[in-house]
């Protein structure tokens, strides 16, 4: 469900203690939207469970993106960030442990970056390397 601005989201029933609508909302800074936020409870349940599995904070580099911000940052035309997806910083994490835990929690879209892991829950599973990142992901 798309919400015009994370500031308009009623957080009284928010049950994901390690994340907030603000950090998952578009980060265009008002250039193109007012902080659009895409709310999906099953995605948030999986993200919270992933955080528990890792027993450490998950820093979200990018969450939802409005159409124009997605284009501005060079996102794919059909990017899952235009709905709900996250890029999680790898700092402080074993990249392979994070990837495997995310697989167990039902994420199905995996973008393998040098310093981040893209996660989404697309219908058709996919895995890709971002430019220059393949070497870091070899075992």
Model confidence, pTM:
0.95
Give the confidence band of 13 by pLDDT, cuts at 50, 70, 90: confident
Contact 113, 133 (CB under 8 A): yes
> Which tens digits make up the pLDDT trace of 65-104?
999 999 999 999 999 999 999 999 999 999 999 999 999 9
Radius of gyration of the chain, Cα coordinates, nearest whole angstrom: 14
Closest CA to 26 of 66, 58, 60, 59: 66
pLDDT of residue 139: 73
Q: Looking only at Cα atoms, what is the longest distance across the chain?
A: 44
Contact 12, 21 (CB under 8 A): no
Domain extent listing, the chain: 2-137
Q: Encoding tokens for residue 6?
A: 């994370």
Q: How far apart are CA 121 and CA 133, in angstroms?
A: 22
Q: Encoding tokens for residue 133?
A: 């990142």
Domain 2-137, CATH number (from 1.10.10.10, 1.10.1200.10, 3.10.20.30, 3.30.1380.10): 3.30.1380.10
Contact 7, 38 (CB under 8 A): no
């Amino acid at each position: 469900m798309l919400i015009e601005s994370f500031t308009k989201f009623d957080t009284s029933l928010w049950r994901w203690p390690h994340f907030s609508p603000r950090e998952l909302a578009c980060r265009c800074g008002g250039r193109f939207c007012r902080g659009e936020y895409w709310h999906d409870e099953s995605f948030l349940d999986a993200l919270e469970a992933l955080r528990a599995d890792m027993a450490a904070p998950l820093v979200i580099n990018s969450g939802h993106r409005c159409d124009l911000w997605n284009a501005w940052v060079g996102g794919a035309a059909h990017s899952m960030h235009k709905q709900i997806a996250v890029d999680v910083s790898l700092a402080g994490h074993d990249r392979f442990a994070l990837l495997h835990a995310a697989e167990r929690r039902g994420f199905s879209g995996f973008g393998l970056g040098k310093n981040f892991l893209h996660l989404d829950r697309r219908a058709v599973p996919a895995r890709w390397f971002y430019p220059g990142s393949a070497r870091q992901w070899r075992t």
